[in-house]
């Protein structure tokens, strides 16, 4: 017996800081969904029971962590929402879907380097996805840019086909397989992904100079056998004290295996395309440092993108997430 659609779905957008209204607008402009979709801004824990999925928007992950941590019960409730797993397999398949974009993606990472210098106890991560992210990999605000990225997969629920004109008023020329215009704003990059994490997109770009210092220190620590969970920019810079920091001297090994502590093969064999653009960003450490990094992943019902689909003129990632939410709701409840 196949389940029919639920009467409607509600998507929450964490509204502590950042681009939450843009996400709401994007979700609400999907006009080809088989069921009505509404959105609500999430600011307190009790609201989480009213939603079928949540978006953690881009903005500033340290600020979100600080506000979230100091809002009664919110951070723990978010952790339960993201991690709650009924079957004990820790595969996030039974959870209501979560999508983190940019800063939101950082919050969902299990490991993070380039964390803020202003907080001593480290970045307040929600976790849930076995990825190692590097904050601000691509540089500061002035290094923001747009580049082609691999498109999202086709939604499993199959409720629309991008090769058709979906009449949503947004550009989608080229259909389902056209590259997606990825907008990167002080964006993080995913350096490694664990074996259970599906890699959905990669790009090639050089790290900014500060990120290159962090990455070099990370390489040193990994070579020394350390399992790095968090590392601030300052921690990386301290090693340089006395000798000063000559950013332009920073060179990295350009082999994925050097960086990968969990699953080099998983990343290598990932069934997805890499954007063939290679970016030379202002503030980049050195053109020769360009490397392949991951910009989109999925683990069970958790989706992460390093870029900002909510400000691109293209709804495919939002439609993909809505498809995840719809499928999860159908599986959770028996709409027969």
Q: Which residues bind ligand GLN (CB under 6 A)?
A: 58-61, 102-103, 106, 135-136, 185-186, 188
Measured CA to CA in angstroms, residue 133 lies from 65, 158, 230 at distances of 16, 31, 10
- The nearest distance, CB 314 to ligand GLN, in angstroms, is 18
Residue 333 corresponds to which tokens in the numbers above? 């409840």
- The nearest distance, CB 324 to ligand GLN, in angstroms, is 21
- The nearest distance, CB 61 to ligand GLN, in angstroms, is 3
116/172 with CB nearer ligand GLN:
116
Q: Which of 181, 203, 190, 220 is nearest to 281 (CA)?
A: 203
Tell me how far apart the alpha carbons of residues 157 and 193 are, in angstroms, rounded to a whole number: 26
106/113 with CB nearer ligand GLN:
106
102/290 with CB nearer ligand GLN:
102
- The nearest distance, CB 114 to ligand GLN, in angstroms, is 8
- The nearest distance, CB 268 to ligand GLN, in angstroms, is 27
Tell me how far apart the alpha carbons of residues 10 and 107 are, in angstroms, rounded to a whole number: 22
Using only the alpha carbons of the chain, give its radius of gyration: 20
Q: Which of 150, 155, 172, 151 is nearest to 33 (CA)?
A: 155
- The nearest distance, CB 23 to ligand GLN, in angstroms, is 12
- The nearest distance, CB 295 to ligand GLN, in angstroms, is 13
37/191 with CB nearer ligand GLN:
191
- The nearest distance, CB 284 to ligand GLN, in angstroms, is 16
- CB neighbourhood size of 280 (10 A): 10
Tell me how far apart the alpha carbons of residues 310 and 314 are, in angstroms, rounded to a whole number: 8
37/42 with CB nearer ligand GLN:
42
210/322 with CB nearer ligand GLN:
210
185/296 with CB nearer ligand GLN:
185
134/326 with CB nearer ligand GLN:
134
Tell me how far apart the alpha carbons of residues 153 and 186 are, in angstroms, rounded to a whole number: 25
């Amino acid at each position: 017996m196949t389940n029919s659609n639920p009467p409607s779905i509600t998507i929450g957008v964490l509204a502590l800081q950042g681009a939450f209204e843009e996400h709401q607008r994007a979700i609400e402009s999907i006009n080809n969904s088989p069921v009505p979709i509404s959105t609500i801004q999430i600011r307190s824990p009790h609201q989480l029971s009213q939603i079928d999925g949540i978006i953690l928007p881009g903005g500033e992950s340290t600020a979100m962590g600080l506000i979230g941590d100091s809002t009664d019960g919110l951070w723990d409730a978010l952790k339960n929402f993201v991690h709650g797993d009924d079957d004990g397999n820790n595969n996030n398949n039974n959870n209501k879907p979560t999508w983190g974009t940019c800063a939101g993606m950082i919050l969902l990472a299990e490991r993070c380097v380039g964390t803020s210098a202003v907080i001593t106890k480290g970045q307040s991560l929600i976790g849930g996805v076995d990825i190692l992210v590097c904050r601000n990999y691509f540089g500061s605000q002035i290094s923001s840019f747009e580049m082609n990225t691999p498109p999202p997969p086709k939604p499993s629920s199959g409720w629309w086909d991008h090769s058709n004109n979906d009449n949503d008023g947004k550009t989608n020329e080229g259909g389902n397989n056209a590259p997606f215009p990825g907008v990167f704003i002080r964006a993080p990059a995913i350096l490694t992904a664990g074996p259970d994490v599906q890699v959905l997109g990669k790009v090639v770009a050089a790290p900014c100079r500060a990120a290159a210092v962090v990455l070099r220190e990370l390489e040193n620590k990994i070579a020394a056998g350390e399992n790095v969970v968090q590392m601030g920019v300052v921690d990386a810079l301290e090693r340089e004290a006395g000798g000063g920091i000559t950013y332009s001297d920073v060179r990295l090994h350009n082999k994925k295996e050097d960086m990968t502590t969990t699953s080099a093969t998983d990343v290598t064999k990932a069934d997805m395309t890499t954007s063939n653009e290679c970016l030379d960003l202002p503030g980049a450490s050195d053109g020769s440092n360009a490397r392949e990094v991951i910009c989109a992943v999925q683990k069970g019902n958790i989706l992460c993108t390093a870029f900002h689909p909510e400000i691109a003129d293209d709804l495919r990632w939002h439609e993909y997430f809505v498809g995840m939410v719809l499928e999860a709701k159908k599986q959770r409840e028996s709409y027969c």
